[in-house]
């Protein structure tokens, strides 16, 4: 399983994004929302949709673990609560607890 970094940012208009900056794959992954948690949830929805598309296209979606990191200069809100590392199935690194 390969670990890919996912950057979390907040824009000047207050909207959040979570995106995988890697260009190693033939796809990109990103999520957006009004909160950090919504952006992460949208990111995982994107992962699910991309997995389905890759299967339809006859390709295998890679087995990935996601490491969420905040962009330089980002201030983590006190309300932030999410797993730091989850795989593409939504499980934390030791696979002991499913993502909500």
80-83, Cβ contacts within 8 angstroms, sequence gap of 24 or more:
80/36, 80/37, 81/37, 82/36, 82/37, 82/40
Closest-CA residue to 87 (of 53, 31, 48, 33): 48
**In angstroms, rounded to a whole number, what is the distance separating the alpha carbons of residues 90 and 34?**
21
Domains and CATH numbers, the chain: 2-87 (3.30.2390)
Give, for all 100 residues of the chain, the pLDDT tens digit: 999 999 999 988 889 999 999 999 999 999 999 999 999 999 999 999 999 999 999 999 999 999 999 887 766 665 555 444 445 455 444 333 334 3
H/E segment holding residue 85: strand 85-87
pLDDT at 72: 78
């Amino acid at each position: 399983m390969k670990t890919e970094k996912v950057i979390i940012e907040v824009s000047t208009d207050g909207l959040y994004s979570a995106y995988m900056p890697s260009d190693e794959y033939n796809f990109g992954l990103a999520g957006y929302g009004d909160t950090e948690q919504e952006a992460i949830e949208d990111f995982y929805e994107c992962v699910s949709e991309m997995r389905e598309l890759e299967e339809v296209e006859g390709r295998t979606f890679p087995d990935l673990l996601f490491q969420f990191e905040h962009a330089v200069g980002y201030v983590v809100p006190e309300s932030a609560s999410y797993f730091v590392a989850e795989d593409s199935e939504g499980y934390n690194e030791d696979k002991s607890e499913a993502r909500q």
